[in-house]
Amino acid sequence: MNKIIDNLKQKYPSETQFHQAVTDVLHSISSLLNEDRIYAENGILERLTEPDRIIQFRVTWMNEDGEIETNRGWRVQYNNAMGPYKGGLRFHPNVSLDTFKFLGFEQTFKNALTGLQMGGAKGGSDFSPKGRSDNDILRFCQAFMMELYKHIGPDTDIPAGDIGVGEREIGYLFGTYKKMTDRFDGALTGKNPAFGGSCMRKEATGYGCVFFLEQALKHANEDLKGQVCAISGAGNVALYTAKMLLQKGAKVISFSDSKGMIHIPDGISEERLEELIKIKEVERGNLSDLCEDFTDCDYFEDKKPWDLEYDIAIPCATQNEIDEKDANSIKKNNVKWVCEAANMPLTDKATNILRDAECTILPAKAVNAGGVAVSGLERTQNAQYLNWDSEKVCSQLKDIMSDIHALCAKNGKNNNSIDYINGSNIAGFKRVAKAMIAYGTL
Ligand code: NDP
């Protein structure tokens, strides 16, 4: 195992996020590898630590001022042992191939946990949508898809949204895909429900996160009602996690973005949350706009929520957002639950600090799988030319999250407690490895 990690570090020295994601999985499955030689005999680790395919391309487009801009685009088709490649697109200036390799690797196991036929992939661009006009977003999405359409399709690779890519961007991307291929099919998910999208897709990641958290608390004889939750981020995942938390009687006292944090000491009300959703989704405004003319919340520039007082930490922003210092704040506050709604939100040092403090970490692979699960259901609806109602989608989402919880609990059982990190990694790995072994050496 160490040889594999050393080898990766030597081959790809700058891909630190990818190393972190691989190390996390390999540590969890070490006893499995010792017990059963089948994985070594089939070279599973060597194969799983190389993506099936990396597509990298140039995206050149003309902005609305008539200037020519060039960005980089990627699609990492990581592993299709469990089904067609599936995973989101991220538009953010900080991304690199490392980001998409780590996300594609994580996605492979996450998708396996859902029990749906989906392999793992991830992609996107270093284009920054922030502060851009609608016109520029449209022009960029068209240029991006004019290259990507060659590599995707309902039975090969089905992208969706992620950071910087929501329903608007998926609309522009799907419109271009349709134009280039002359096909209306399920090659993209996250579409508007009025034209082929699944209802509840927008809510799915956040709602699924709360369904998983509820199961984990129940297993520990605790109740979500009355728990005080600190949320980071103020995007799709953060907003809909908060919405479901309020429905379950929990209290949400914070949101954040790359500029700062808002603190709502008495907890945000449903009405105020709807205002925030409108600010972020419709007006595309700033988080601080919520506090203008109101005394129920305070805005703090350059601050994260982790040193506030709360029971459950729910990071919903980005990878490695919780570092050593934040983990020490969480530990000092005696917080017993960290629910990872964002992908890999803890640095490995932060993870170690919180594990030592006996804080239960609910890992992203399991917690945020509801988004891709409903994307999987969107693909099914598209294949049948059907639209299911919210009740049907939500009930399937609940069942999937409950099955994922049971799977993690079974595979992560550790005396009287559950190691959810190990549980999710072992369960996901076993499913993917079993399929790879069955296919032979390809
Ligand atoms: P959005 O783009 O909707 O929102 C992201 C939020 O995180 C924004 O508030 C953004 O602030 C903040 N953020 C991003 N980067 C940073 C940073 N470096 N420091 C501080 N804040 C930051 O994305 P999503 O809500 O869709 O995604 C959030 C996380 O959830 C990601 O890790 C994503 O991979 C994961 N996820 C998303 C799924 C989905 O269905 N959308 C599915 C599964 C996982 P600002 O606006 O200032 O940049």
**pLDDT given at position 96:** 98
Residues 15 and 34 grouped into a single domain: yes
Instruction: Give, for ligand 1, the residue of 198, 236, 282, 287 to mutate: max count of ligand atoms closer than 8 Å to Cβ.
Output: 236
Q: What is the pLDDT of residues 160-183, one digit of tens each?
A: 999 999 999 999 999 999 999 999
Residue 238 Cα to ligand 1 midpoint, Å, equals 8
Residue range 356-374: average pLDDT?
A: 98
Strand bridging mode 312-314 / 337-339 = parallel
Q: For the chain, what is the domain count? A: 3
Q: Residue 153 above 90 pLDDT?
A: yes
Strands 260-263 and 254-256, bridge-based pairing: antiparallel
| Active-site hit among 101, 110, 122, 178 | 122
CB atoms under 10 Å from CB of 36, counted, come to: 12
Strand 254-256 and strand 360-362: the pairing is: unpaired
User: Has residue 67 been placed in a domain?
Assistant: yes
Residue in 236, 64, 78, 56 with CA at minimum distance from that of residue 142: 64
Clarify whether residues 32 and 60 are in a common domain. Answer: no
pLDDT value at residue 293: 79
The closest-lying atom of ligand 1 relative to the alpha carbon of residue 319 is 32
CA 239 to ligand 1: nearest atom: 25
Q: Measure 315 CA to ligand 1 centroid, in angstroms.
A: 10
Residue with tokens 């979500």, as numbered in its chain: 224
257 Cβ inside 6 Å of ligand 1: yes
Indicate whether residue 343 lines ligand 1 (CB < 6 A): yes
| Residue 128 Cβ < 6 Å to ligand 1 | no
- Any domain includes 302: yes
255 and 129 part of one domain: no
**Which CATH number characterizes residue 128's domain?**
3.40.50.10860
Which residues lie below 8 Å from residue 273, measured CB to CB, with a gap of 6+? 239, 242, 243, 246, 252
pLDDT band at 155 (very low <50, low <70, confident <90, very high): very high
The atom number, within ligand 1, closest to the CA of 256 reads 9
Residues 92 and 176 in one domain: yes
342 and 284, same structural domain? yes
Average pLDDT over residues 253-282: 96
How far is ligand 1, taken at its centre, from the CA of residue 89, in Å?
A: 12
* Same domain flag for 138 and 71: yes
Atom of ligand 1 nearest to the CA of 341: 30
What's the chain's Rg over C-alpha atoms?
A: 21
- What's phi and psi for 64, nearest 5 deg? -70, -10
In this prediction, residues 351-360 reach a mean pLDDT of 97
How many CA atoms does the CB half-sphere of 57 hold within 13 Å? 17
Residue 409 in domain: no
Q: What is the per-residue pLDDT across 47-97, written as a single tens digit (0 to 9) for each?
A: 999 999 999 999 999 999 999 999 999 999 999 999 999 999 999 999 999
Q: According to the model, what pLDDT value does residue 440 have?
A: 96
> Does ligand 1 lie within 6 Å of residue 163's CB atom?
yes
Tell which atom from ligand 1 comes closest to the C-alpha of 255. 9
Query: Is the pLDDT reported for residue 158 higher than 90?
Result: yes
Write the pLDDT tens digit of every residue in 227-248.
999 999 999 999 999 999 999 9
Nearest CA to ligand 1 atom 3: 235
Residue 415 pLDDT greater than 90, yes or no: no
Distance 257 CA to ligand 1 centre (A): 9
| Strand arrangement of the beta sheet that strand 254-256 belongs to | 254-256, 260-263, 298-301
Report the share of the chain in percent with pLDDT over 90.
97
Is the CB of residue 280 less than 8 Å from the CB of residue 289?
Answer: no
Q: What is the pLDDT of residues 19-40, one digit of tens each?
A: 999 999 999 999 999 999 999 9
The reported pLDDT for the residue numbered 1 is 85
One domain for residues 218 and 110:
no
pLDDT band for position 292 (cuts 50, 70, 90): confident
DSSP for 117-135, written as a single string: S-EEEEEEES---TT--HH
Separation of CA 344 from chain center? 8
pLDDT at 416: 86
Cα separation of 165 and 90, whole Å?
A: 6
Beta-carbon count within 10 A of 34 CB: 11
Per-residue model confidence as pLDDT tens digits over 113-124? 999 999 999 999
Instruction: List b or e across 81-95, with b for residues whose CB sees 16 or more CB atoms inside 10 angstroms.
Output: bbbbbbbbbbbbeeb
The DSSP annotation for 20-72 comes to: HHHHHHHHHHHHHHHH-THHHHTTHHHHHTS-SEEEEEEEEEE-TTS-EEEEE
In this prediction, residue 413 carries a pLDDT of 95
430 is catalytic: no
Query: Residue 419 above 90 pLDDT?
Result: yes
Residue linked to tokens 């000491």:
265
Q: What is the DSSP letter of 3?
A: H
Residues 215 and 92 in one domain: no
CATH code, domain carrying 327: 3.40.50.720
Please check whether residue 280 is in contact with residue 256, taking contact to mean a CB–CB distance below 8 angstroms: no
Whether residue 342 has its Cβ less than 6 Å from ligand 1? yes
The reply to whether 44 and 163 lie within a common domain is no
Please indicate whether residue 317, judged by its CB atom, sits closer than 6 Å to ligand 1. yes
How large is the average pLDDT for residues 98-127?
98
Ligand 1 geometric centre to CA of 119 (Å): 22
- Rounded to the nearest whole angstrom, what is the distance from the C-alpha of residue 172 to the centroid of ligand 1? 20
What's the pLDDT score for residue 389?
A: 97
Range of the domain at 260: 203-367
